[in-house]
Every structure is written in C-alpha cells, then in structure tokens.
Amino acid sequence: MARPIEKDGVVFRRKGTKFLWMRFRDKDGIYKRESTFTEDRQEAHRKLRLRLDARDQNVLEIVRRGESLSFGQWVDTFMENYSKPPYRTQKTHVANLRAVKNLKAAFVTRKLLDISPDDVESYLRKRMCQRALIKTALGYREGRPLKPATVHQELRVLRRILNIAVRKRLIPSNPCSGVEFPVAIRGLFRPHYVTWSEQQRIERHAPAHLRNVVRIITETGLRVYKELMPVTKEQVDLANSVLWIPDSKTPTGVAELPLTAMAVQAFRDQMALAGSSDYLFPSEESATGYQRSLRTVWRLTLRERRFLTFGSTIFVQRMQRG
C-alpha cells in the first residue's frame, strides 16, 4: 500500500540561490519545482497557494502562460478575437485601434502580469500632458492639448483588454480597478434630454424630412443610421401601426415595433415626401439608395435659427453616432 501524501506542497531554500523555491504535485501526481523569485517566506507561501489553486481548477498551464505573456502579444490576440465584428461593431473596432496604438507604445514590452495600477496612472498623467498630432502635407504638427475624454477613452479600452485577460485566468486581477483618473470629466456621462418644448422649437424650423426623423426617433427610439435610414415602405404597416426592423445592432432589436399615433403620422408624411422611391429617405447621390448622414442638415437647422447647440442631447447623439 502506497504511503499517503502528507503535504500538498512545500517551500524550501535551494543551495546556491537566494530565492526560495516551491515544490508541489501537478494533477498527475508528478512533483514540480519552481522558483518563487522572492526571499520573503510569506510571499513564497502565497505564490504556492496560488499554484495549488490553479492546479485544482485545472488552469495551471493557462496561469503559467499568463506569466510569460507580454502586453503586446495579448493586445494582438484581443484585437483579433474580441474587438472585430460580430463581437463589436466596426466603429468600436476602429476606436480600439486608435487607443491601442498609444497603449502599445507604452506597455508593448512589459509582461502582462507586471502592469500595476501605478503604471497605468503614470501613463494617464503623461498622456494628459501631451498634445494632439495633426497630419499635414509636410508631416505631423502638434495641436491643442489632449482632452480628458480622449485619454479616458484609452483607459476604458485598457480596462476592457485586461478584463478579458482576467476572465481567461491570465492575470489574477485588473490593475485598472485601482486606478483613479487624474482629472474630473464634466458631463461625459450626463446627456441633456430634450424637453417637449425644445423639440417643438426644433420641429418648427427644421426641414420636413428632418422633422419626421425627430418625431420618429423620439417616439420609437430607433437608431438613425442602422435602423431608420434603410427603412423601406414595405416595412411600414400603417394600418396596424407596426414597423418591421430586419437588421439591428443587437439580436433583440430585430422585431416588430409598435408605433404611436405621432410616429404613424410622421411615417405617413415621409412616405409622401419619398414619392415613388422604395426607401423612406431616398438619395440619388448615395450608392445604397438612401441617405447616409443627417449631420449637415441638423447642424444648419440649429445654427441658422440660433438655437442652443444641444450637443449632448439624446437624439443628437443618435444622429451623430448612429
């Protein structure tokens, strides 16, 4: 009968080295010896417990891979597998590419496990002192200082990258969770919701098709460029007050949408404006056959009538971002 195992693992000092070593059995019962890279016995025992927990959860090889993985290697994996459609939209992927360009310049050679909250805060402070680079015919020139919102976007992308690494057990925790942004961002997540009186003012001075757009999106919440602009007349059932959405940003958005009386009237008015076209918002200049942008007409409507520039209103965000 085999002798029972008294200890799951042990920390010991190896001759000729200043670091403590640990010895433990893997899932097959084979002894493994590794350096703890520390002279502190308490820290060495902590690393041994982490090794044993990883072994018991059958993720020991993944943890070891995370210790040798560099930030640049993991970013390349993230951009290839977790940033592109269908996981994220193409616009999100483009924004991630812009942020990753600066993040890789700062952390590309660092080990993923070695990035600390202090490193992230130091990066943010340096970025806040830098200026935007403007491309010209003669090269690049420095522009205005970077806005806090631009740097905060890079922090959100970095947090997302490291959250995936935590989920994959490559690192034990996300260092961004202990990061405090160096400046306060005013109004970044505080949109101004347009009141009924403000909407009426805009509708009185807007062109007919823009007035219909405003009424439809405020009554239905449709995404302008993804869901409303490609709508055809066949998708609208005025008799039953229903709109069919065949394509949406999310799977739950593909559905039949009930319409209010104001939305039905707006669709009816837009059908009259569209004439014989199959699309509700036709455009001969667009290759798709329908309008792709409302930015110019929206900007002119607010500017010519001397409105307050509702730059952060809920439906202005929809028109600008789609």
pLDDT digits (tens, 9 = 90+) for 92-109: 999 999 999 999 999 988
**Is-contact 247 254, C-beta < 8 A?**
yes
Strands, E assignment, the chain: 9-13, 20-25, 31-35, 131-136, 139-145, 236-237, 242-245, 255-258
Tell me what pLDDT residue 184 has. 61
**Is-contact 209 217, C-beta < 8 A?**
no
Most confident of 29-33, 145-149, 300-304: 145-149
Tokens of 75: 């970013």
How distant is the alpha carbon of residue 268 from its chain centre?
37
CATH class of this structure's domain 71-178: mainly alpha
| DSSP result, 150-176 | HHHHHHHHHHHHHHHHHHTTSSSS-GG
Question: Taking the alpha carbons of 108, 111, 26, 15 in that order, is the dihedral positive or negative?
Answer: positive
Domain ranges in the chain are: 9-58, 71-178, 205-321
Distance (Å, rounded) from C-alpha 236 to C-alpha 169? 48
pLDDT digits (tens, 9 = 90+) for 223-245: 988 999 999 999 999 999 999 99
pLDDT digits (tens, 9 = 90+) for 244-277: 999 888 888 899 999 999 999 999 999 999 999 9
| DSSP result, 4-64 | PP--SEEEEEPTT-SSEEEEEE-TTS-EEEEE-S-S-HHHHHHHHHHHHHHHHTT-HHHHH
pLDDT digits (tens, 9 = 90+) for 110-120: 998 889 999 99
Residue 133 has pLDDT above 90, yes or no: no
**Is-contact 212 177, C-beta < 8 A?**
no
Give the burial class of 318: count Cβ atoms within 10 A of its Cβ; 0-12 exposed, 13-18 middle, 19 or more buried. buried
**pTM recorded for the entire structure:** 0.56
Which amino acid does the sequence have at 218? T
- Compute the C-alpha angle 79/88/176, nearest 5°: 60
Tokens of 46: 């902590």
Mean pLDDT of 211-234: 92
Tell me what pLDDT residue 306 has. 54
Grouping H, G, I as helix, E, B as strand and the rest as coil, residue 261 is helix
